[in-house]
Amino acid sequence: MKHASILLVIATSLAGCATGPKPCTSEWVDWKTERILNDFARDHQKQIASIRDLGAQFSSGGKADLSNSSKAQLALAAIGGLALIGDFAKDVAPKAADAMSECSTAPKATQLLAGMLRKQGVDEKTAQAVEQVGQLLDIDKSGR
C-alpha cells in the first residue's frame, strides 16, 4: 500500500510537469513568453539596471546632473538601451515569433519588450520611450 501511494504521488507530479497550458490559449502565450522574457532579462540584468536607474534619475522630479561624467553615463545608458533593443530583436523576437507561429495572433515585439522592462522595475515614462524606439522591431522587411 505504501509503495502504491508513493507511485501515485510520483505519477501525479510527473503528469503535472508533462502538461502545460494548451497551445495558443492566452495562458500558454503568457507561459511561453514569460519563459523567453525571463531568460532574456537574466542575461541582460546590467543593461536593464542601467535603463532603470537612468529613468529613475530623470523621473525623480529633481534637476538632472548634467556634468561631463553624467553626460558620459547618459550616453552609455542610451547606447546600452539601443543595444538592448538590438539584442531583443535578434534573440527574443524570433523566439517568440517561432513559438507563436501556430497561433493566429502573437504579441508584437514592442509589447513584449515594454512589458519585460516594466516587470524589471523600469518606470513607465522610460518604458514608453524605449517602446517607441522599439517600434522599429515590429517593422517587417517590406517596411510595413
Residue 15 within a domain: no
124 falls within a domain: yes
- Residue 29 within any structural domain of the chain: yes
pLDDT per residue as tens digits for the range 34-73: 999 999 999 999 889 888 887 777 776 655 556 666 777 7
- Give me the amino acid identity at 121: G
pLDDT surpasses 90 at 16: no
- 79 lies in some domain: yes
For the chain, what is the domain count? 1
pLDDT of 42: 95
Domain membership of residue 32 (yes or no) is yes
Rg (CA), the chain: 20
pTM: 0.65
The Cα 101–Cα 105 span in angstroms is: 8
Rounded-to-integer distance, Cα 113 and Cα 64, Å: 26
Residue 99 domain-assigned (yes or no)? yes
Tell me how far apart the alpha carbons of residues 112 and 30 are, in angstroms, rounded to a whole number.
Answer: 10
Please state, in angstroms and rounded to a whole number, the distance separating the CA atoms of residues 131 and 85.
9
Are residues 44 and 112 in contact, defined by beta-carbon separation less than 8 angstroms? no
Residue with cell 508513493: 6
The pLDDT tens digits for 75-108 are 777 788 888 888 998 998 888 888 888 776 666 7
C-alpha to C-alpha distance for 44 and 81, rounded to whole angstroms:
11
Is 143 a domain residue? Answer: no
3-state secondary structure of 143: coil
Residue 117 lies in a domain: yes
Q: Which domain holds residue 79?
A: 25-138
| pLDDT value, residue 139 | 57
**What is the C-alpha separation between 93 and 109, in angstroms, rounded?**
6
